[in-house]
Structure 1
Amino acid sequence: MPYDLGATARLTAQCRDPDGTATTAATATVTVTLPDSSTATPTATETATPGTYHADYVTEQPGRHTVRWQFTDPAHAYTDVLDVLEAAPPAILSLADAKQHLNIRSSDDDGEVRYWNNVTTRAVEFYTGPIVPRSITEEHTVRSAVTVVLLHTPVQEVTAVASLLTGGTAPDVADLAVNGATGEVYRPDGGRLSGRLRFTYRAGRTTIRENFPAAARIILGHLWRTQRAGRRGGVAGGGDDYSVTDPIPGIGYAVPNRALELLAPDRLPPGVA
């Protein structure tokens, strides 16, 4: 499961000899490669179990990390990955709401519930665009245009514009207006936009209407049930609420039809993010 930004990730590995037997190594090192390609080398320590090592790494950046273990005498290596969440990952449902819907009362499965809750948010926003407000940065090459169309709607505000060209200029944010529903950015004075520009803006809803968390609950219940078949826990009832009779273009069988019905008033036109 992904780690929260700033949490300590306990990294583990075993040193094995050529026969596959776990054994104590002369040296053990671990290198963590961060998303920006920098590296960290937390101290590797053998545990009470011979041949089993761990190292504690305090996460510093969100994103995918590569973990490389290297042992000597015997020579052995092991590579793994770990993911770190954003400082404020978007989620339509709180952990408490998600657990309440799934009828889970203990904290034993909190990590797994959070994971599928985040997946559920991505599934809902596949149809609606951003719901939970977040900052987005994207680049546009503009050849003297009246408007620039941002990719993710609804747009709340444009917070910064920068030129990516040496000596280039960018319009002042105060001189721009934005159509939140369509993502169109323009100059109210009729001036034109040009250059290679990086836009930073906030997208999402200021008010999260009831149909969004309702659809999220149905999707979460469906994913939880299919991933944990035969295990204790889950959603009481269900039936047609979680049925998927036909594959949905672009997302297959992950979203029940009833959730789509709830999202229908707010679904984006085809091709709009």
Structure 2
Amino acid sequence: MTVAFDLGDTVALTADCHATGGQLVNAATVTLTITALDGTTSTPIVPTPPTVVGRYRYDVVPVPTGRHLVRWVFTGPADAYTDAFDVDPADIPLVLSLEGGKRQLNITTTDHDEEIRDYLTAVTDVIEALCGPVVTRTIVEVHEFRCALVLVLRQPPILSVRSVTPIRTAGTAPAVSDLDVDSDTGTLRRKDCRWLLGGPWRVTYTAGRPVVPAGIRLAARIILDHLWRTQNGADGLPALAHDDYAVTQPIAGLGFAVPNRALELVDRNRRTPEVG
């Protein structure tokens, strides 16, 4: 299975029971175990006998997000099957909407919606690897300093700092109102130029862009089109047949996923090298 579902989706878990000769048969017993990311397990009762001989199904609506492992064990005959599925959080970030992505791909049906949504998630990851957070989200990170003249938040641009909380019980929490934040660089310092004392700290802040620049939006559409072509083709042409989708330089951590045209469009919004 190994596909992602939305939180609240019904997930149809299926498995076939085979005899030693390979034919489908009903089992004497069937055990289904579902293990969530936190290690908790459930063993629901699977309807038996199945509607189709040897083909078992159980519908579940998982609550925790993350990876779920699935284990089917049959006896009489002995057979087993292991699978997995992922549940996405409700607030998964997307630079492009499903409708916007379909318009770019010139797709008007709903046949490929789930697949396109996976592509849109991947495109968002690529864009944010290049430009830092684009979709607004809350970030929590730890800064391992006992004292510092500045803290450099790791995922600019910064929209607001919500709290700076000491990790040690004897630590000191600076008032957010006493801090100056450079949105573009993520630099955090006291307005009175004094040192920040009493760390290490856990900093909670909001990052992203209130308005997504047009260059980033267009680059996201080009990357989506490029990745879709590598899987599905377009107009009978190879994925890299057009100059708009030419890829001549690998990007660290991304390989050849980003066409040259998209890189040019996001150039002025590229992430600066991470500090500390």
Q: Offset at 1:169?
A: 4.7
Q: Indicate the residue corresponding to 1:223 in structure 2.
A: 227
Q: Indicate the residue corresponding to 2:255 in structure 1.
A: 252
Is this contact kept in 1: 2:172–2:197, CA < 8 A?
no
> Structure 2 matches for 1:17-166, cutoff 5 A?
17-46=19-48, 47-166=50-169
Deviates more, 1:101-110 or 1:10-19: 10-19
Give aligned-pair identity as a percent: 45
Is this contact kept in 2: 1:145–1:194, CA < 8 A?
no
TM-score by length of 2: 0.89
Matched length:
272
Q: Pick closer, same or farther for the CA change 1:6–1:172 going to 2, 3 Å.
A: farther
1:110-154 CA-partner distances (Å, limit 9, x unpaired): 000000011011111111001011111222211211222111111
Q: Pick closer, same or farther for the CA change 1:175–1:107 going to 2, 3 Å.
A: same
Q: Offset at 1:168?
A: 4.4
Q: Which residue type is aligned with residue 229 of structure 1?
A: G
Q: Pick closer, same or farther for the CA change 1:21–1:209 going to 2, 3 Å.
A: same
Q: Pick closer, same or farther for the CA change 1:37–1:165 going to 2, 3 Å.
A: farther
Give the 3-state SS of the residue equivalent to 1:68 in structure 2. Answer: strand
How far apart in 2 are the matches of 1:120 and 1:197?
Answer: 32
- For the aligned residue pairs, the C-alpha RMSD in angstroms reads 2.6
* Residue 11 (structure 2) aligned to one of 5, 9, 12: 9
Is this contact kept in 2: 1:131–1:208, CA < 8 A?
yes
Is this contact kept in 1: 2:166–2:198, CA < 8 A?
no
Q: Indicate the residue corresponding to 1:239 in structure 2.
A: 242
Give the 3-state SS of the residue equivalent to 1:261 in structure 2. Answer: helix
Give the 3-state SS of the residue equivalent to 2:81 in structure 1. Answer: strand
Q: Which residue type is aligned with residue 63 of structure 1?
A: G
Q: Offset at 1:43?
A: 3.5
Give the 3-state SS of the residue equivalent to 2:199 in structure 1. Answer: strand
